[in-house]
Structure 1
Amino acid sequence: MLPEEVKSLVHDGYTALMDQRCHSAEQAFSQLLSALNPSELKHLNLRIINYVVIIYGHATALLGIGQPEALTKAEDQFKKIIEQYQEERFGCLAYYGIGKVYLRQNRFSDALDQFMKSQTMVNHKMVPGVLTWPTTSWVIEETRTENLQLILKNCIEECKFPPEPDAICRYQQCHGHSKIQIFFTDPDFKGFIRITCCQQCRV
């Protein structure tokens, strides 16, 4: 891949992300990740942190798509950052990202744990510093510590005082993301099934 191609795809990815065109952003970042080899970044004037930012962009695009499969992939990408790129000090943003995935799934207590981990890292100054999208001068706003702190504060507040669920699952072997609360906004919510008895039986 040529440097010009990298620059073009990064531009396509982050501008699509800014415009909420998450499918387009996902395609651009996915193309970059499949073409780039982390061990061969030097000849493209890129560093490992730039590669991590591209993973983060891809995960954020998947989060924006919001479908159950996309959210699972987003969580995997954020976890990859935490597990494989600790030296880049990007964990605070990855935990924030996982928290956003769980928040999208209305898993408020799970999301709160992730946001608290992120906040702890920020408080201990375990942050990557202000970063731009690779090959550009466009700052990733959540890499500004004060911005991330404010976002986390709002997310933590939301998780501490979640809305009442629309329904509760009473099935004892329920496997719905390990939560029994049902919200109409759950990504995997499929609506209702109405059962009508025509035999005058008693339930």
Structure 2
Amino acid sequence: MNKQSNYLKLLLILLPLPALAYDEQASLEQYPTKDIVVYFKQAQQKGLTGIAQKSKSVYARLAAPGEIIKTIIKGVGTEVISSPAEEGDWVVENICPATGNEQYLVEKAKFHQYYHDPVTVSSKPNYLRFIPTGKMMNYFIVPETESAFTFINSWGKKQLLRAGDIVIQPVSQPQSFYHVPKQSFFCTYNILVTAHKSSNNFASN
């Protein structure tokens, strides 16, 4: 009985260790970081960028102040962990079963720039349905030959870019960059000008 009791105690101690040892943001430190401004400019100079609009509707709700949102992509894992929400921020949920309908936090000011007035829905309690304003976005597809790397997005968060993922730059905000996983991009954006794919990793920064 004593042996069993000791075993159970040891098991309870060890079980949380993987969760404690795994920190999504800390795990990004194993990847090289690139200057996304330089990286994207090189892509533009080589004619590898295209233009797209986010036009597919989304669900959204007001975030609770202090709420932290994990953006989790089905089959991939955690993409980013938000800063604590402030009053008036929104939790947006893409309507994209291929990605698991991932959620992310959008600041109050940015949200009202990118989405029209809401439409009520009865099928998803506490959420409203919003249609994007359809702002023009430059986009670039990370080459398949590119090793994974990180960059600092417009919210000051480090994000991981993998081969095939998408870098977005709003046309009206050329210093703003963020990452959209490839499954989510093709599920939620309409392509107006197709980006050409690079056959090699063209940037060394």
TM-score (normalizing by structure 2): 0.22
Higher helix share: 1
Higher strand share: 2
TM-score (normalizing by structure 1): 0.22
Q: Which has the higher contact order (CA 8 A, sep 6+)?
A: 2
